[in-house]
Amino acid sequence: MRAGVAIVGGGIMGAWAVLEASRGADPLAGPAVLFDGDASDGPELPDCGLASEAFVAPELVGLARRGMREVAGFETNTGRAVEFGRPGAVVLGAERAEHVQNSLLERRIEGVDALDGSDLAGKFYGLALDEGEGGLWLPHVAHLDVEMYYTELLGLARTRGAITRFGTSVSGVRVELGKVVGLETSRGFCETKRVVVTAPQYVGLTEMDLGLVSKSVERWRFRAPLVVEEAGCGMESLGAGGVGELLSDPAKVESFFAPGEGPVYAHPALVDLGRRFRVWCDPQNGTLVATGCSDDGRLGGGGRFSSSALELVLERLPFHGDSLEMALEVEHVELMERESGSPVVSAVPGVEGLFVALGLGERGVELAPGLAEGLCQMIEGQPVAAFDPAVMDLGAL
């Protein structure tokens, strides 16, 4: 087969890359093609679903703002649900809460308030606080179903002629005279002059050190009756002939694709920097999700738990009680990031036509839309307007 642009690796970055690449691709002569050899049993997505401009490094806020606009308007603009909502978040345990607040306000993160215990109780009923403890309230922290988002992004790309090849592994990039000429895949040779690597497991294809370090994030999912939400109506519930009946009435079409009210959250998210964990509701799946926090104190940085996940959660959220005794699922997610916190979005020196877009960690929802736009500008040899290439370049390691 032949591809105008070949994206190697999935995730939110891969999905946005193939979506953006499909805008200018010829769907017959040179379509955008996504290869994801690890997605035969469903994608393994590093993004946790909790998203905010407050969770990224200061120099990435502009990109994150773009990403948050994209996901917030996704259902309205496309008619594809991703269960987007804004539960907000309470931040506890910051050594200098005022410093954190000022830092967020300097980045134009709006609505951040420093609250004492009584005010926090009004935002988060039942939250257990230490004596005299206060915290920060971040009203715009959002949540979405990342797997639904990934699926719908690829669905949009396919409507533009993109091709997705799940379960097709890539073993090598064929280079002749310093230029990419194709990919060696488990389905045979794919002719292409432009390849983008978006998944850490394919870093070896570049044959160079990208300066990425591995980090493990531990996530626990608990069955939680308090956060169960009945799923909304989908196409599959219309029954035989239902789609035809729906499409025959413009009023029904408008009603069906109109944005819903969003999921209902039992309580806000919690980021506890002192006890080093985060916890939030996932109402679509009826679960409470908890992860460890990173060692560097970033609001959006995941890590491993310092002690029992269940004990930490119940210490702060005792109202969940015995309903959280059974762990529904424990995930160990391996992330690849740069120590600087900035992703790597760059051409690979010495190989014309080879590019990388890696190191987003858990922040693909916020960063991928802007990075994908700039990446495609880079591939086409146009000026990159979406971000400063010097910050993302391999030479900035």
Among 318, 336, 354, the domain boundary falls at 336
Give the residue numbers spanning the domain of 101. Answer: 89-139+215-229+264-336
Q: Give the rounded percent of residues in the chain with a pLDDT score beyond 90.
A: 49
Q: How many CB atoms lie within 10 A of CB 130?
A: 10
Distance, CA of 77 to CA of 70 (rounded, Å) = 9
User: Would you say residue 348 lies in a domain?
Assistant: yes
pLDDT of residue 232: 40
Angle at the Cα of 195 from the Cα atoms of 191 and 197, rounded to 5 degrees: 140
Residues 222 and 314 in one domain: yes
Residues 203 and 345 in one domain: yes
User: Would you say residue 249 lies in a domain?
Assistant: no
User: Would you say residue 251 lies in a domain?
Assistant: no
Residues 378 and 281 in one domain: no
Q: pTM of whole model > 0.85?
A: yes
Among 336, 357, 387, the domain boundary falls at 336
Mention every residue, 6+ apart, whose C-beta is less than 8 A from residue 11.
43, 45, 46, 47, 150, 198, 199, 360, 364
Residues 116 and 156 in one domain: no
User: Would you say residue 345 lies in a domain?
Assistant: yes
Among 317, 336, 355, the domain boundary falls at 336
User: Would you say residue 244 lies in a domain?
Assistant: no
Dump pLDDT digits (tens) for 249-290: 544 444 444 455 678 899 999 999 889 999 999 998 889 999
Mention every residue, 6+ apart, whose C-beta is less than 8 A from residue 272.
91, 92, 93, 278, 279, 293, 312, 316
Residues 130 and 31 in one domain: no
* CATH number reported for the structural domain that contains residue 195 in this entry: 3.50.50.60
Residues 154 and 303 in one domain: no
* pLDDT tier for residue 102 given thresholds of 50, 70 and 90: confident
Distance, CA of 186 to CA of 172 (rounded, Å) = 10
User: Would you say residue 362 lies in a domain?
Assistant: yes
Least confident of 5-9, 217-221, 293-297, 326-330: 326-330
Residues 104 and 135 in one domain: yes
* CATH number reported for the structural domain that contains residue 295 in this entry: 3.30.9.10
* pLDDT tier for residue 216 given thresholds of 50, 70 and 90: confident
Residues 223 and 188 in one domain: no
Distance, CA of 104 to CA of 110 (rounded, Å) = 8
Chain-centroid distance, C-alpha 146: 6
pLDDT of residue 260: 55
Residues 154 and 280 in one domain: no
**Mean pLDDT of the region 95-103:** 80
User: Would you say residue 254 lies in a domain?
Assistant: no
Residues 207 and 344 in one domain: yes
Residues 331 and 373 in one domain: no
Residues 153 and 208 in one domain: yes
User: Would you say residue 297 lies in a domain?
Assistant: yes
Dump pLDDT digits (tens) for 2-55: 999 999 988 999 999 999 999 888 888 899 999 987 655 556 788 989 999 999
Count structural domains, the chain.
2
Q: Is the pLDDT of residue 225 over 80?
A: yes
Give the CA count within 13 Å in the CB-facing half-sphere of 5: 30
